[in-house]
Protein backbone atom coordinates (compact mmCIF):
# COMPACT_ATOMS: atom_id res chain seq x y z
CA UNK A 1 0.00 0.00 0.00
CA UNK A 2 1.30 3.44 -0.96
CA UNK A 3 1.02 6.27 1.56
CA UNK A 4 1.99 9.91 1.99
CA UNK A 5 2.90 11.44 5.35
CA UNK A 6 1.76 15.08 5.60
CA UNK A 7 1.49 17.70 8.32
CA UNK A 8 -0.12 21.04 8.96
CA UNK A 9 1.52 22.94 11.84
CA UNK A 10 2.85 19.63 13.11
CA UNK A 11 -0.58 17.93 13.14
CA UNK A 12 0.53 14.91 11.11
CA UNK A 13 -1.52 12.26 9.35
CA UNK A 14 -0.94 9.34 7.03
CA UNK A 15 -2.78 9.85 3.74
CA UNK A 16 -4.00 6.98 1.59
CA UNK A 17 -5.36 7.43 -1.92
CA UNK A 18 -8.77 5.75 -1.88
CA UNK A 19 -8.96 6.04 -5.67
CA UNK A 20 -6.19 3.43 -5.90
CA UNK A 21 -5.98 1.60 -2.56
CA UNK A 22 -8.91 -0.53 -1.43
CA UNK A 23 -9.28 -1.34 2.27
CA UNK A 24 -12.31 -3.09 3.78
CA UNK A 25 -14.15 -0.85 6.24
CA UNK A 26 -14.07 -3.55 8.92
CA UNK A 27 -10.28 -3.66 8.76
CA UNK A 28 -9.65 0.08 8.86
CA UNK A 29 -9.61 0.64 12.66
CA UNK A 30 -6.89 -1.95 13.22
CA UNK A 31 -4.94 -0.72 10.20
CA UNK A 32 -5.15 2.86 11.49
CA UNK A 33 -3.88 1.87 14.94
CA UNK A 34 -0.96 -0.03 13.42
CA UNK A 35 0.06 2.67 10.98
CA UNK A 36 -0.33 5.51 13.51
CA UNK A 37 1.92 3.90 16.10
CA UNK A 38 5.04 6.07 16.36
CA UNK A 39 7.24 3.19 17.51
CA UNK A 40 6.07 0.21 15.46
CA UNK A 41 4.33 1.92 12.52
CA UNK A 42 4.69 4.98 10.32
CA UNK A 43 3.61 7.33 13.10
CA UNK A 44 0.93 10.00 13.03
CA UNK A 45 -2.08 11.56 14.71
CA UNK A 46 -4.27 9.31 12.58
CA UNK A 47 -5.02 8.18 9.03
CA UNK A 48 -6.99 10.00 6.32
CA UNK A 49 -8.35 8.23 3.25
CA UNK A 50 -8.94 10.47 0.21
CA UNK A 51 -11.90 9.01 -1.66
CA UNK A 52 -14.14 9.77 -4.65
CA UNK A 53 -17.37 11.59 -3.81
CA UNK A 54 -20.67 12.29 -5.55
CA UNK A 55 -21.52 15.26 -3.34
CA UNK A 56 -18.15 17.07 -3.52
CA UNK A 57 -14.90 16.95 -5.46
CA UNK A 58 -13.36 14.61 -2.87
CA UNK A 59 -14.17 12.83 0.37
CA UNK A 60 -11.99 12.96 3.48
CA UNK A 61 -12.48 9.80 5.55
CA UNK A 62 -10.67 10.51 8.80
CA UNK A 63 -9.61 8.28 11.68
CA UNK A 64 -7.97 9.15 15.00
CA UNK A 65 -4.84 7.30 16.05
CA UNK A 66 -6.89 4.96 18.24
CA UNK A 67 -8.91 3.79 15.23
CA UNK A 68 -12.07 5.78 15.97
CA UNK A 69 -13.76 7.85 13.27
CA UNK A 70 -13.54 11.64 13.47
CA UNK A 71 -15.79 14.18 11.82
CA UNK A 72 -13.37 16.93 10.83
CA UNK A 73 -9.75 18.07 11.07
CA UNK A 74 -8.76 21.55 9.91
CA UNK A 75 -5.09 20.72 9.47
CA UNK A 76 -5.99 17.42 7.85
CA UNK A 77 -8.32 18.94 5.28
CA UNK A 78 -5.70 21.50 4.24
CA UNK A 79 -3.33 18.63 3.51
CA UNK A 80 -6.07 16.92 1.49
CA UNK A 81 -6.20 20.05 -0.67
CA UNK A 82 -2.45 19.96 -1.20
CA UNK A 83 -2.45 16.22 -1.90
CA UNK A 84 -5.11 16.27 -4.62
CA UNK A 85 -3.57 19.27 -6.40
CA UNK A 86 0.08 18.22 -6.13
CA UNK A 87 -0.80 14.68 -7.23
CA UNK A 88 -2.75 15.92 -10.27
CA UNK A 89 -6.15 14.69 -9.08
CA UNK A 90 -7.46 18.20 -9.78
CA UNK A 91 -6.36 21.21 -11.82
CA UNK A 92 -8.50 23.67 -9.86
CA UNK A 93 -7.30 25.89 -7.02
CA UNK A 94 -10.85 25.99 -5.63
CA UNK A 95 -12.22 22.60 -4.54
CA UNK A 96 -14.81 21.08 -2.23
CA UNK A 97 -14.17 18.27 0.25
CA UNK A 98 -16.82 16.35 2.19
CA UNK A 99 -16.14 14.81 5.59
CA UNK A 100 -18.78 13.07 7.71
CA UNK A 101 -21.50 14.60 5.53
CA UNK A 102 -20.25 18.20 5.77
CA UNK A 103 -18.82 19.95 2.71
CA UNK A 104 -15.99 22.47 3.03
CA UNK A 105 -14.69 24.88 0.40
CA UNK A 106 -10.92 25.14 -0.05
CA UNK A 107 -8.93 27.91 -1.72
CA UNK A 108 -5.42 26.76 -2.65
CA UNK A 109 -2.41 29.07 -2.87
CA UNK A 110 -0.04 27.59 -5.46
CA UNK A 111 3.60 28.65 -5.75
CA UNK A 112 6.35 27.68 -8.17
CA UNK A 113 9.30 26.04 -6.48
CA UNK A 114 12.52 28.13 -6.40
CA UNK A 115 14.83 27.20 -9.26
CA UNK A 116 12.07 25.20 -11.00
CA UNK A 117 10.03 27.63 -13.09
CA UNK A 118 8.63 24.79 -15.19
CA UNK A 119 5.50 22.97 -14.14
CA UNK A 120 2.41 24.25 -12.42
CA UNK A 121 3.80 24.61 -8.92
CA UNK A 122 2.67 23.15 -5.60
CA UNK A 123 0.27 24.16 -2.88
CA UNK A 124 1.84 26.13 -0.02
CA UNK A 125 -1.15 27.59 1.83
CA UNK A 126 -4.80 26.61 2.05
CA UNK A 127 -7.74 28.78 3.13
CA UNK A 128 -10.74 26.77 4.23
CA UNK A 129 -14.32 27.87 4.66
CA UNK A 130 -14.99 25.94 7.86
CA UNK A 131 -18.67 26.82 7.93
CA UNK A 132 -20.71 28.18 10.81
CA UNK A 133 -19.82 27.48 14.43
CA UNK A 134 -22.36 25.36 16.29
CA UNK A 135 -23.21 26.72 19.73
CA UNK A 136 -26.34 24.76 20.73
CA UNK A 137 -25.37 22.37 23.55
CA UNK A 138 -27.35 19.42 22.16
CA UNK A 139 -25.65 19.79 18.78
CA UNK A 140 -22.06 20.02 20.10
CA UNK A 141 -22.90 17.84 22.17
CA UNK A 142 -22.46 18.90 25.79
CA UNK A 143 -24.83 18.51 28.70
CA UNK A 144 -25.87 22.01 29.73
CA UNK A 145 -28.89 24.21 30.35
CA UNK A 146 -29.59 27.19 28.12
CA UNK A 147 -28.86 27.79 24.46
CA UNK A 148 -25.08 28.37 24.77
CA UNK A 149 -22.17 27.32 26.95
CA UNK A 150 -20.08 30.47 27.39
CA UNK A 151 -17.73 30.93 30.37
CA UNK A 152 -19.58 28.18 32.22
CA UNK A 153 -18.08 26.35 35.22
CA UNK A 154 -17.13 22.68 34.98
CA UNK A 155 -15.83 20.60 37.87
CA UNK A 156 -12.91 18.33 36.96
CA UNK A 157 -11.41 16.16 39.71
CA UNK A 158 -12.64 18.61 42.33
CA UNK A 159 -11.23 21.70 40.60
CA UNK A 160 -13.41 24.27 38.88
CA UNK A 161 -12.57 25.39 35.36
CA UNK A 162 -14.57 27.69 33.10
CA UNK A 163 -15.27 26.58 29.56
CA UNK A 164 -16.84 27.78 26.35
CA UNK A 165 -18.13 25.02 24.09
CA UNK A 166 -18.17 25.16 20.28
CA UNK A 167 -18.54 22.58 17.55
CA UNK A 168 -16.83 23.04 14.20
CA UNK A 169 -18.12 19.67 13.02
CA UNK A 170 -16.53 18.10 16.11
CA UNK A 171 -16.86 19.05 19.79
CA UNK A 172 -14.54 21.49 21.55
CA UNK A 173 -14.28 22.79 25.10
CA UNK A 174 -12.22 25.99 25.23
CA UNK A 175 -10.63 26.79 28.60
CA UNK A 176 -8.81 30.08 29.21
CA UNK A 177 -5.86 29.78 31.59
CA UNK A 178 -2.51 31.22 32.60
CA UNK A 179 0.87 29.56 32.12
CA UNK A 180 -0.54 27.21 29.51
CA UNK A 181 2.96 26.16 28.46
CA UNK A 182 3.48 24.67 31.93
CA UNK A 183 0.19 22.78 32.16
CA UNK A 184 0.34 18.99 32.46
CA UNK A 185 -2.03 18.10 29.65
CA UNK A 186 -1.31 14.39 29.94
CA UNK A 187 -3.06 14.54 33.31
CA UNK A 188 -5.88 17.02 32.79
CA UNK A 189 -6.60 16.28 29.10
CA UNK A 190 -8.10 12.79 29.54
CA UNK A 191 -10.29 14.04 32.38
CA UNK A 192 -11.90 16.60 30.09
CA UNK A 193 -12.07 14.21 27.14
CA UNK A 194 -14.01 11.60 29.09
CA UNK A 195 -16.01 13.92 31.35
CA UNK A 196 -19.64 12.89 31.86
CA UNK A 197 -20.85 16.17 30.37
CA UNK A 198 -19.52 15.20 26.93
CA UNK A 199 -21.52 12.20 25.63
CA UNK A 200 -19.27 11.86 22.56
CA UNK A 201 -16.10 12.92 24.38
CA UNK A 202 -14.47 16.24 23.51
CA UNK A 203 -11.36 17.99 22.28
CA UNK A 204 -10.09 20.50 24.83
CA UNK A 205 -8.18 23.70 24.08
CA UNK A 206 -6.21 25.43 26.84
CA UNK A 207 -5.73 29.05 25.79
CA UNK A 208 -3.59 31.92 27.00
CA UNK A 209 -4.60 35.27 25.52
CA UNK A 210 -1.64 37.44 24.45
CA UNK A 211 -3.64 40.39 23.12
CA UNK A 212 -6.84 40.93 21.14
CA UNK A 213 -5.29 39.55 17.98
CA UNK A 214 -3.02 36.78 19.27
CA UNK A 215 -3.24 33.81 21.63
CA UNK A 216 -1.25 30.70 22.53
CA UNK A 217 -3.02 27.35 22.57
CA UNK A 218 -2.32 23.75 23.53
CA UNK A 219 -4.81 21.05 22.65
CA UNK A 220 -5.82 17.63 23.88
CA UNK A 221 -7.56 15.77 21.05
CA UNK A 222 -9.99 12.96 21.79
CA UNK A 223 -8.70 9.62 20.63
CA UNK A 224 -5.18 10.93 20.09
CA UNK A 225 -3.86 12.96 23.03
CA UNK A 226 -1.91 16.19 22.87
CA UNK A 227 -1.06 17.22 19.33
CA UNK A 228 1.07 20.06 17.99
CA UNK A 229 -1.95 21.71 16.38
CA UNK A 230 -5.69 21.39 15.79
CA UNK A 231 -7.35 23.39 13.02
CA UNK A 232 -10.94 22.99 14.17
CA UNK A 233 -9.73 23.72 17.69
CA UNK A 234 -8.21 27.01 16.53
CA UNK A 235 -11.54 27.92 14.93
CA UNK A 236 -13.36 27.09 18.16
CA UNK A 237 -10.86 29.19 20.13
CA UNK A 238 -11.38 32.22 17.89
CA UNK A 239 -15.15 31.94 18.27
CA UNK A 240 -14.82 31.50 22.03
CA UNK A 241 -12.57 34.56 22.29
CA UNK A 242 -15.13 36.69 20.47
CA UNK A 243 -18.05 35.33 22.52
CA UNK A 244 -16.19 36.19 25.71
CA UNK A 245 -15.29 39.68 24.46
CA UNK A 246 -11.58 38.89 24.50
CA UNK A 247 -10.64 39.29 20.84
CA UNK A 248 -11.59 40.77 17.51
CA UNK A 249 -12.99 38.81 14.60
CA UNK A 250 -9.51 37.99 13.25
CA UNK A 251 -7.15 36.03 15.48
CA UNK A 252 -3.71 34.45 15.05
CA UNK A 253 -3.52 31.24 17.09
CA UNK A 254 0.01 30.26 18.04
CA UNK A 255 0.54 26.53 18.46
CA UNK A 256 3.38 24.22 19.38
CA UNK A 257 3.66 23.40 15.66
CA UNK A 258 3.12 26.80 14.03
CA UNK A 259 0.45 29.45 13.54
CA UNK A 260 -3.01 29.60 11.99
CA UNK A 261 -5.00 32.68 11.02
CA UNK A 262 -8.67 32.40 11.92
CA UNK A 263 -11.33 34.86 10.75
CA UNK A 264 -14.96 34.83 11.87
CA UNK A 265 -17.15 36.69 9.37
CA UNK A 266 -19.96 37.62 11.74
CA UNK A 267 -22.22 38.93 8.96
CA UNK A 268 -22.18 35.57 7.14
CA UNK A 269 -21.51 33.58 10.34
CA UNK A 270 -18.68 31.72 8.60
CA UNK A 271 -15.24 30.86 9.99
CA UNK A 272 -12.20 30.88 7.70
CA UNK A 273 -8.92 29.13 8.50
CA UNK A 274 -5.66 29.82 6.66
CA UNK A 275 -2.46 27.87 7.16
CA UNK A 276 0.29 25.72 5.64
CA UNK A 277 0.21 22.16 4.33
CA UNK A 278 3.44 20.18 3.97
CA UNK A 279 4.38 16.80 2.49
CA UNK A 280 6.87 15.05 4.80
CA UNK A 281 7.64 11.83 2.93
CA UNK A 282 6.12 9.02 0.89
CA UNK A 283 6.50 5.28 1.06
CA UNK A 284 4.98 1.83 0.91
CA UNK A 285 3.78 -0.39 3.69
* Rounded distance between C-alpha atoms, residue 79 and residue 45, angstroms: 13
* Rounded distance between C-alpha atoms, residue 246 and residue 240, angstroms: 8
Residue 83 DSSP one-character state = H
* Rounded distance between C-alpha atoms, residue 10 and residue 212, angstroms: 25
| Residues in Cβ contact with 211 at an 8 Å cutoff, skipping those fewer than 6 apart | none
Contact 107, 88 (CB under 8 A): no
Residue 143 DSSP one-character state = -
Residue 132 DSSP one-character state = P
* Rounded distance between C-alpha atoms, residue 213 and residue 239, angstroms: 12
Using DSSP's 3-state secondary structure scheme, residue 52 falls into coil
Q: What is the enclosing helix (H) or strand (E) of 185?
A: helix 185-193
Which residues are paired to 176 by β-bridges? 207
Catalytic residue annotation: 73, 230
* Rounded distance between C-alpha atoms, residue 14 and residue 245, angstroms: 38
Task: Give the distance, in angstroms, between the CA of residue 142 and the centroid of all CA atoms in the same chain.
Answer: 19
Which of 197, 223, 224, 193 has its CA nearest to residue 206?
193
Amino acid sequence: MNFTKMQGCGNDYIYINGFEEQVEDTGKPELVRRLSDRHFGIGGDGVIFINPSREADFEMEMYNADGTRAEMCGNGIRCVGKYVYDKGLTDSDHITVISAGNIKELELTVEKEPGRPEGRGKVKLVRVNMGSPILEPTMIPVEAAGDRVVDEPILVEGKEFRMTCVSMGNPHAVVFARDVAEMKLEQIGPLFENHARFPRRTNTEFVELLDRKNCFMRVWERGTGETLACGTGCCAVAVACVLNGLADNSLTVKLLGGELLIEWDRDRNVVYMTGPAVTVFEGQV
